Amino acid sequence: MRIDGRPYRTLWPTGDGRAIEVIDQTLLPHRFATRRIDDLDSAVEAIRTMVVRGAPLIGASAAYGLALALKSAADDASLERAYGALLASRPTAVNLRWALDDVRRRVRPLPPGERAAAAWARAAEICDEDVALNRRIGEAGLALIDAAHRAHGRAVNVLTHCNAGWLATVDWGTATAPIYLAHDRGVPVHVFVDETRPRNQGAALTAFELGQHGVPHTLIADNAGGHLMQRGQIDLCIVGADRVTARGDAANKIGTYLKALAARANRVPFYVAAPHTTIDWTMEDGLDIEIEERSADEVTHMTGRLHDGTIARVALAPPGTQAMNPAFDVTPAELIEAFITDRGLCPATKPALAALFERDRS
Ligand code: MRU
């Protein structure tokens, strides 16, 4: 997608093939800057501190991180050490494990001298595949937006939570891919963007990227969604996912579950857009998903731009206030109207998911 008219992906290999460059998402929307990642430690750090974030992008970054690690040491022990360090960088998004498993499976049978190049090539493929998967999610979801437009004869109002946009993937996004396609093809669409406390990925990232692409949108406080649904102002919800279990429970950014409950109460269809790389076939019950606990500072403080343009961090709560910060929650399958996947729409049931993705299950 474009920033100031220039096409970007969220990460790309540098010309010398020694590093990758990523958009530093901790600085958006106030500053656009890229960051060079050239070894294992900087890859782990970028994922952990959310310089790169969003399930598919975490996976793609980890694949390159493993390749970078193998450039300096490619024996079996080093491979396992790098795999372990990257896997521990963030716990909830299963795309991380998917990408690491994929690269490790391919390079382990190779002699150490060939592993780094093979891993690098596979990381590049994972990025290209992610773009293609999201594009297919876009086609599947476009049909829903188009149908809503025909039914209502006006712009379709979509609510989304967090950032499951192109910044969370290599390109296109998951939840936003149908929105971008609809917009590009002249289907009028308007997005209500949840701010997404505590890190404000909606306000900072989703609003930024929709604005850059010219998609009409309105930022709302996280608590406004139920009110809007009750008054018929939301036609459908589309969110992303960090992990989908075999039976269709979906972990996504904290607050997603409340939106799904409000959607069910108000008969607003609630869709989860996710590629097959987000499905964890080893898990049934979403409540078994490890939920990342992040620093309480993210709840008690907020960062933003002051009138004079400087970036500042301000306290919101009395000093010493105890706070907790679970980063994700789980929406049970029964609240999900359907998954929007790279293979089309899929009911949120175990048999439907298994049938659609039979060849990917391991
Ligand atoms: O903590 P984050 O910003 O990595 O969380 C991101 C989300 O929860 C996204 O909605 C999810 O990863 C889907 S991204 C296409």
Can you count the helices (H) and strands (E) in the chain? Answer: 12, 18
State how far the Cα of 341 lies from the Cα of 81, in Å rounded to an integer: 33
Distance 87 CA to ligand 1 centre (A): 16
Q: 231 and 264 in contact (C-beta within 8 Å)?
A: no
> What's the CA gap between 210 and 192, in Å, rounded?
11
Evaluated on CA atoms 224, 226, 232, 237, the torsion sign reads positive
> Does ligand 1 come within 6 angstroms of the Cβ of 253?
yes
Q: Does residue 93's CB lie within 6 angstroms of at least one atom of ligand 1? A: yes
Q: Which one of 28, 206, 242, 294 would you pick to mutate in the ligand 1 pocket, going by the greatest count of ligand atoms within 8 A of its CB?
A: 242
| Distance from residue 253's CA to the centre of ligand 1 (Å) | 6
Give residue 282's pLDDT. Answer: 97
- Taking the centre of ligand 1 as the mean of its atom positions, its distance from the CA of residue 214, in whole angstroms, is 22
What pLDDT sits at residue 360? Answer: 72
> Is residue 242 annotated as a catalytic residue, yes or no?
yes
- The answer to whether residues 50 and 26 touch, using CB atoms and an 8 Å cutoff, is yes
Q: Which atom of ligand 1 is nearest to the CA of 292?
A: 1
**C-alpha of residue 222 to centroid of ligand 1, in Å:** 16
Q: Which two tokens stand for residue 326?
A: 């679970």
By most ligand atoms within 8 Å of CB, the mutation choice from 252, 256, 259, 272 for ligand 1 is 252
- Protein residue with its CA nearest to atom 5 in ligand 1: 54
Query: Of residues 102, 130, 171, 242, which has the active-site annotation?
Result: 242
Q: Which of 28, 52, 253 to mutate to test the pocket of ligand 1 (most atoms within 8 A of CB)?
A: 253
In the reported structure, the alpha carbon of residue 358 is separated from the centroid of ligand 1 by a whole-number distance in angstroms of: 25
Q: pTM for the complete prediction?
A: 0.97
Whether 335 contacts 349, CB under 8 Å = no
Ligand 1 close to Cβ of residue 89 (< 6 A): no
Contacts 24+ apart (CB under 8 A), 152-155: 152/235, 154/188, 155/188, 155/189, 155/190, 155/216
Total length of the chain? 362
CA–centroid distance, 90 to ligand 1, in Å, is: 11
59 lines ligand 1 (CB under 6 A): no
Name residues of the chain where pLDDT drops below 50.
none
> How close is the Cα of 315 to the center of ligand 1, in Å?
25
CA–CA distance, 339 with 292 (Å, rounded to integer):
23
196 lines ligand 1 (CB under 6 A): no
Among protein residues, the one with the nearest Cα to ligand 1's atom 15 is 164
The pLDDT of residue 358: 82
What is the structure's pLDDT at 19? 98
What are the angstrom distances between the C-alpha of 256 and each of 20, 81, 195, 237, 245? 32, 34, 12, 10, 16
Does the CB atom of residue 241 touch ligand 1 within 6 A? yes
78, 115 Cβ separation under 8 angstroms: no
Q: pLDDT tens digits, residue range 103-156?
A: 999 999 999 999 999 999 999 999 999 999 999 999 999 999 999 999 999 999
